[in-house]
RNA sequence: GCCGGAUUAGCUCAGUCGGUAGAGCAACUGAUUUGUAAUCAGUGGGUCGGCGGUUCAAAUCCGUCAUCCGGCACCA
């Protein structure tokens, strides 16, 4: 009976729809070879019914099979995985025999491996490790696999002293089929969920990029391991391309550009707070004015709430318990403890509570450019992107449950419109639903999630589910945009809150004369203005569009003779509300052009004798080598029109 | 907060073996009055992040604190 069973054929179907019979127990590599020799050569793994498997794995049932080649995205991923688990790990063990391996996953563009070492690494150690890796790759060993059960696995890794692997095996729910990968002719083996390249000849170009500390299991209570990061690509060209992108990102660094363009500075005496210089502050004010205009048009009412508020309010709102460590405190009279506000919502609720509210008053959309202080951990600070004092484009919408979808929808539209104006085209949305620990009944959560989901769908936004990641008081949407060089930034948020109004006893009177708690929508589009400006500095690489540029036009004279004409032009432009500078220094025009181009001024007007006598200007735009001439009167009209287009 | 690295002129950076500092740009002065990405010459500028230690002698070696950078953890 058993024999008959074993000889039975199985039916394999391929992605192109074709089907073929094979004998039971056939291996992936044999199937690839059966299709073509070239496929066999390129193949590195397979997908069996959508699940990744090694080519050495047997297939015993009718299955859908997809052969993964080294040229595919999946192949690249497997190569990276093998590179970290088999090559980097082995290199570390060769160089540091007493090290203990933890985990080595792939990440975007590369991989890392976490290890415990006797002595922490520094960047100077990377070339040495890289060299060792190259040696291992050059040998080009085959990678083989065996299956063991839990007990065997525990024994293997206990004997080896790999305590982290032992830990992983112990915590695993599975009893059998632990995969042990090893390289032929070596004593190296490692536990891994695979799959791996069948041999190291498929490894492409790679580079170790940085070392860092990282907590075991990502928990700061655990010991710190050494994390070695690397990047890997199909070939040298792809690797170089990627390294170029990194270089480009470095050039765009908002800290560098901020200094060069004199936008802001940071200093020791005010760690985590921005000193805005006039040029940076112009950008800040321009953005604030822009948002204010948008909010006014949408029926928001702007307010301003106190900077310092007694701790009792934070206790009532629930923030004190959770966040008091991160609040800046001030001493008041009679030993009162006051806190610099870390957020605006309780303040807004207090405004809502003034006077009796009717359902007819709702929705109330309360906005504030709220300046907040949070004592962020020192290691979290980053330029102006993560600071201790920041300004939110914050607003809270107090509404009835039936208004939630419409308000959410309106918000999504506004958010998209605003992102578009800043040149962001791609938008991702994460929908975070109920977390394990939460406030409010399941019925309320059902209602809230349904309403929010309806809004995303009606807004025609693509979203991905982020299960269990909602706030404790309600589900939320997180808006992630992609910048000019493909990096993601999470900025906007929309959170539904059924808790805070109740905690702070904010009510309205409904149609039946009953007191009810309103729903509160917490929402921000830019998030923090400081961070937003950091992001757009990098998005534009310092070349701000005209409406945001701190200096929109610089007027350059050719000689002293043109000074009066230049001054007259400067005055007319300033009178028209245009941000200009006048450069009438005794310098060559090439020198001036270079300097102002370097400062990313979008338009340079050159005036010499020719322009003076014809009341015209020469217009040179940033990034253009040539220039055009225009009558000054026309130019001013033309420019104003350009300003209206964002 | 944790791990590693860094901190030298206004800016970007060099500084060997421990022998008390150097470049380019910028600034200032003078000459040049110039047509679309750097005109020439000269001058000044530093408690080498702070404090302490080792040493005849410290930018350099050691300790410590601060800040910044790369990650981790955190992010109401």
Which tens digit of pLDDT belongs to each residue from A543-557?
999 999 999 999 999
A505 pLDDT band, cuts 50/70/90, is: very high
* C1' (B2) to CA (A253) span, angstroms: 25
- CA dist., res. A128 & res. A143, Å (int): 24
Residue A400, token pair as written in the block: 């009835």
Which are the contacts of A363, defined by CB distance < 8 A and separation ≥ 6? A397, A398, A399, A400, A403, A407
Q: Is the pLDDT score of A3 beyond 70?
A: no
Q: What own/partner pairs with CB < 8 Å and gap ≥ 24 does A36-43 have?
A: A39/A67, A39/A69, A42/A69, A42/A70, A42/A71, A43/A67, A43/A68, A43/A69, A43/A70, A43/A198
Q: Which nucleotide is nearest to A372 (CA to C1')?
A: B76
CB atoms within 10 A of CB A268: 5
Residue with tokens 């073929």: A20
Q: Could you read off the pLDDT of A210-254 as tens digits, one per residue?
A: 999 999 999 999 999 999 999 999 999 999 999 999 999 999 999
Q: Tokens 């400081």 map to which residue?
A: A530
Higher per-residue confidence, A286 vs A185: A286
Report DSSP letters for A407-453, one per residue: HHHHHHHHHHHHHHHTT--EEEEEEE---SS--S-HHHHHHHHHHHH
Nearest alpha carbon to residue A481 among A424, A527, A435, A520: A424
Active site residues of A: 345, 374, 392, 394, 396, 476, 522
What's the pLDDT band for A2 if we cut at 50, 70, 90?
Answer: very low
Task: Tell me what pLDDT residue A1 has.
Answer: 43
Between A275-279, A333-337, A511-515, the lowest mean confidence (pLDDT) is in: A333-337
Average pLDDT for residues A184-197, to the nearest whole number?
92
Rounded to whole angstroms, the Cα distance separating A532 from A539 reads 10
Query: Which helix (H) or strand (E) is A582 found in, with range?
Result: strand A580-583
Determine contact, residues A400/A359, Cβ cutoff 8 Å: yes
Question: Does the structure show a pLDDT above 50 at A346?
Answer: yes
Considering all nucleic acid strands, name the nucleotide whose C1' atom is nearest to the C-alpha of residue A472.
Answer: B76
What are the backbone angles phi and psi of residue A156, rounded to the nearest 5°?
A: -55, -50
Give percent of chain A with pLDDT exceeding 70. Answer: 99
Pairing type for strands A476-482 and A580-583 reads unpaired
What mean pLDDT is predicted for residues A436-445?
Answer: 84
Residue given tokens 């605006």 in the structure block: A344
pLDDT on residue A160: 93
The gap between A583 CA and B21 C1' (Å) is 37
Q: Is the pLDDT of residue A8 over 90?
A: no
Domains of chain A, earliest start first: 2-66 (3.10.20.30), 74-248 (3.30.980.10), 296-537 (3.30.930.10), 553-644 (3.40.50.800)
Contact A275, A261 (CB under 8 A): no
What is the per-residue pLDDT for A467?
A: 87
Q: How far is the CA of A581 from the C1' of B73 (A)?
A: 47
pLDDT at A483 over 80: yes
**Is A519:A455 a contact under the CB 8 Å cutoff?**
no
Indicate whether A570 pLDDT > 80. yes
**A418, A298, A303: which is closest to A370 by C-alpha?**
A303
Q: Which residues contact A591 (CB under 8 A, 6 or more apart)?
A: none
Query: Cα dist. A146→A79, A85, A175, A176 in Å?
Result: 19, 16, 15, 12
Quick: pLDDT tens for A367-420. Answer: 999 999 999 999 999 999 999 999 999 999 999 999 999 999 999 999 999 999
pLDDT at A451: 87
Whole-number Å distance between alpha carbons of A114 and A412: 40
Res. A4: pLDDT tops 70 = no
The per-residue pLDDT of chain A, averaged, comes to 94
Which nucleotides along chain B are within 7 A of a protein C-beta? 1-5, 11-12, 31-39, 66-76
User: Closest nucleotide (CA of A271 to C1')?
Assistant: B67
Protein CA at A121 to nucleotide C1' at B63, angstroms: 22
């Amino acid at each position: 009976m058993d024999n008959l069973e074993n000889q039975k054929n199985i039916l394999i179907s391929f992605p192109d729809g074709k089907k073929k019979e094979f004998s039971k127990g056939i291996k992936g590599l044999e199937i690839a070879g059966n299709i073509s020799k070239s496929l066999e050569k390129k193949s590195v793994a397979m997908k069996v019914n959508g699940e990744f498997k090694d080519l050495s794995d047997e297939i015993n049932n009718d299955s859908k099979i997809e052969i993964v080649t080294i040229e595919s995205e999946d192949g690249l991923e497997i190569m990276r995985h093998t590179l970290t688990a088999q090559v980097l790990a082995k290199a570390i063990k060769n160089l540091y025999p007493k090290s203990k391996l933890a985990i080595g996953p792939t990440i975007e563009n590369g991989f890392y491996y976490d290890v415990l070492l006797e002595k922490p690494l520094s960047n100077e150690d990377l070339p040495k490790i890289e060299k060792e890796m190259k040696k291992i790759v050059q040998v080009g060993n085959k990678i083989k696999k065996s299956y063991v059960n839990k007990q065997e696995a525990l024994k293997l890794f206990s004997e080896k002293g790999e305590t982290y692997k032992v830990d992983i095996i112990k915590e695993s729910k599975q009893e059998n089929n632990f995969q042990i990968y090893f390289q032929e002719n070596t004593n190296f083996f490692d536990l891994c969920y695979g799959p791996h390249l069948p041999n190291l000849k498929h490894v492409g170009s790679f580079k170790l990029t940085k070392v860092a500390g990282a907590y075991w299991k990502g928990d700061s209570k655990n010991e710190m391991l050494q994390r070695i990061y690397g990047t890997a690509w199909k070939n040298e060209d792809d690797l170089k391309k990627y390294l170029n992108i990194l270089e480009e990102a470095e050039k765009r660094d908002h800290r560098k550009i901020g200094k060069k363009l004199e936008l802001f500075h940071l200093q020791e005496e005010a760690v985590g707070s921005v000193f805005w210089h006039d040029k940076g502050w112009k950008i800040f004010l321009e953005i604030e004015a822009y948002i204010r205009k948008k909010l006014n048009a949408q029926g928001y009412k702007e307010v301003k709430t106190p900077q310092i508020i007694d701790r009792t309010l934070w206790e009532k709102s629930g923030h004190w318990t959770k966040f008091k460590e991160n609040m800046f405190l001030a001493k008041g009279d009679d030993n009162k403890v006051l806190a610099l506000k870390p957020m605006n919502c309780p303040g807004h609720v207090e405004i809502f509570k003034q006077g009796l509210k009717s359902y007819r008053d709702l929705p109330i959309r309360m906005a504030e450019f709220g300046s907040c202080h949070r004592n962020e951990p020192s290691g979290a600070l980053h330029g102006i992107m993560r600071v201790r004092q920041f300004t939110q484009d914050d607003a809270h919408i107090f509404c009835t449950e039936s208004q939630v979808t419409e308000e959410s929808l309106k918000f999504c539209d506004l958010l998209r419109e605003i992102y578009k104006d800043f040149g962001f085209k791609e938008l991702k949305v994460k929908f975070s639903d109920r977390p394990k620990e939460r406030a409010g009944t399941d019925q309320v959560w059902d209602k809230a999630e349904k309403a929010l989901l309806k809004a995303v769908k009606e807004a025609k936004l693509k979203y991905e589910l982020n299960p269990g990641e909602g706030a404790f008081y309600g589900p939320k949407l997180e808006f992630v945009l992609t910048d000019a060089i493909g990096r993601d930034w999470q900025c906007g948020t929309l959170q539904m809150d059924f808790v805070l109004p109740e905690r702070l006893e904010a009510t309205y009177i409904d149609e039946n004369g009953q007191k009810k708690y309103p729903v509160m929508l917490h929402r921000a589009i830019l998030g923090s203005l400081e961070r937003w400006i950091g992001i757009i500095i990098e998005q534009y690489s310092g070349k701000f569009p005209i409406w945001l540029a701190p200096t929109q036009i610089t007027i350059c004279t050719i000689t002293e003779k043109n000074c009066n004409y230049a001054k007259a032009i400067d005055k007319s432009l300033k009178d028209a509300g245009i941000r200009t500078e006048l450069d009438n220094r005794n310098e060559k025009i090439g020198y001036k052009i270079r300097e102002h181009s370097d400062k990313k001024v979008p338009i340079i007007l050159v005036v010499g004798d020719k322009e003076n006598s014809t009341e015209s200007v020469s217009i040179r735009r940033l990034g253009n080598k040539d220039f055009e001439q225009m009558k000054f009167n026309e130019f001013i009209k033309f420019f104003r029109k350009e300003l209206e287009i964002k």
